[in-house]
Amino acid sequence: MAKLVMVQHHHQKHPSFSLLSSSLPDFNGIKLYNQLQGELMCLLSLITNIWMQYKKKLWQQKGALPIITSSAKKILMGGNEFVDNLSSKLQAKEGHQTRAFAVTRRNAMALLLSGYFLSELSMHGIAFAQQSIGLREYIDTFDGYQFNYPQNWIQVRGAGADIFFRDPYVLDENLSVELSSPSSSKYKTIEDLGPPEEAGKKVLKQYLTEFMSTRLGVRRESNILSTSSRVADDGRTYYQVEVNIKSYANNNELAVMPQDRVARLEWDRRYLSVLGVENNQLYELRLQTPENVFLEEENDLRRVMDSFRVNKVAA
C-alpha cells in the first residue's frame, strides 16, 4: 500500500505558496472554474511527473523496486475526475449574483498539500537529473537481433511487438522491436528503403497511422528531428530516425462555440528508431520517451540505440 509521509519543520517557517492566481473573494462562479481548470490540470501533471521521477531516483540510490499499487494509480490518474467534481459545484443564479463556489474539505486539503509539496521541493532544491544506469543485454537467436536495455526496465508480454520493455515508473517510456514478415518482404540491404531522409518519412507516417484517433477534437503535430546512417562494428549499415509527436485534445469537444473548445496538450514524446536489414527482413528498434525525460536520459537512450544489431539466422 502506498503511503504518504509528511514531515513538519518547526524551526523554519516557509512563505505561503500557491499556483492559483485567484484571491479568496474571487473564489466563486464560472470565472474561477475557467481559470482553475487549466491551472489545476497543469498542477496535477507537474506533481505526478515530479513524484514519479523522485521515486525513480530513490530506487536507483537504494536498489529496491517499489510497487505502484492500484490506489496510487487512482491518485495519479484522477485529475479529470477531480476537475469534473469541481465543475459540478458551480451553480448559476438569477440577476448579476452567483451562489458561492462550494469546495469540499478533501478538495481544499488536496490543493493545500499540493502547494506545500511543491514549495518543499523548491526550498530544498531537489534535483531530478537521472544518473546513468547500467544496461543489460538481450539476444534473440531465433529471429536474429540483439540490443542492450536499461537494467531496471521490465518486460511486458502480449504487447504486440516481438519484444517489449518499459520503465516501471515512467509508463510512457518503453522499447520494442518490430520485424517484417519473411514471407512478404524481401529486403536485401537497408538502401532498399531509399536514403535516410526517405526512410524517416516512412517511419513518421507509420507512427501517425498507429496513433490515428477517432476521438473528436484530437490533433497531432509531428516533426522529423533528424535522420542519419552509420556503419556499426559488424560491418552493417543502420539508419537512425528521430521524430517528435505532440497530441492535443479539446477540453470540451462537444461544445458549440469555438471559444469553448480549448485545445490542451495531452502528451509530448520523442520517438527514436534504428533500422537494419538481415535475413531478407527489415528490423526496427523503437524507443519512446516523453520529451522532458529524454532530456535527462539522452545519453543512456543513445547507448541503447547504438547497441542494436541484426544477426544472420542459420537456415
> For 171-209, what is each residue's pLDDT tens digit?
999 999 999 998 888 899 999 999 999 999 999 999 999
Residue 107 neighbours by CB under 8 Å, 6+ apart: 82, 85, 86
Angle at 65 between CA 61 and CA 68, to 5 degrees: 120
- Identify whether the C-beta of residue 234 lies closer than 8 Å to the C-beta of residue 274: no
Q: What is the pLDDT of residues 287-309, one digit of tens each?
A: 999 999 999 999 999 999 999 99
Burial per residue of 177-187, b for 16 or more beta-carbon CB atoms within 10 angstroms, e otherwise: bbbeeeeeeeb
| Secondary structure (3-state) at 50 | helix
pLDDT the model gives residue 252: 75
Report the alpha-carbon distance of residue 218 to residue 237 in Å, rounded: 38
pLDDT the model gives residue 27: 43
The amino acid at residue 47 is I
Q: Please report which helix (H) or strand (E) contains residue 218, including its range.
A: strand 218-231
Q: What is the pLDDT of residues 222-259, one digit of tens each?
A: 999 999 999 999 999 999 999 999 999 987 766 667 66
Does 270 score more than 90 pLDDT?
yes
CATH H superfamily, domain 135-310:
Mog1/PsbP, alpha/beta/alpha sandwich (3.40.1000.10)
The answer to pTM > 0.85 is: no
Report the alpha-carbon distance of residue 34 to residue 42 in Å, rounded: 13
Comparing CA positions, the residue from 109, 133, 11, 114 lying closest to residue 61 is 133
What residue ranges of the chain are covered by domains with CATH 3.40.1000.10? 135-310
Does 157 score more than 70 pLDDT?
yes
pLDDT the model gives residue 110: 54
Beta bridge partner(s), residue 271: 243, 288
What confidence category does residue 135 fall into, taking pLDDT thresholds of 50, 70 and 90?
A: very high
Which range, of 52-66, 94-108, 272-286, averages the lowest pLDDT?
94-108
pLDDT the model gives residue 160: 85
**Composition of the chain by helix, strand, coil, percent to 5:** 35, 25, 40
Q: What is the pLDDT of residues 69-111, one digit of tens each?
A: 333 333 333 444 443 444 444 344 344 443 444 445 555 455 5
Report the alpha-carbon distance of residue 156 to residue 138 in Å, rounded: 14
Length of the chain: 315
Does 37 score more than 90 pLDDT?
no
**CA-based R_g, the chain, Å:** 24
Comparing CA positions, the residue from 297, 242, 275, 296 lying closest to residue 147 is 275
Check the CA dihedral 149-154-157-159 and report its sign: negative
Q: Please report which helix (H) or strand (E) contains residue 210, including its range.
A: helix 196-210
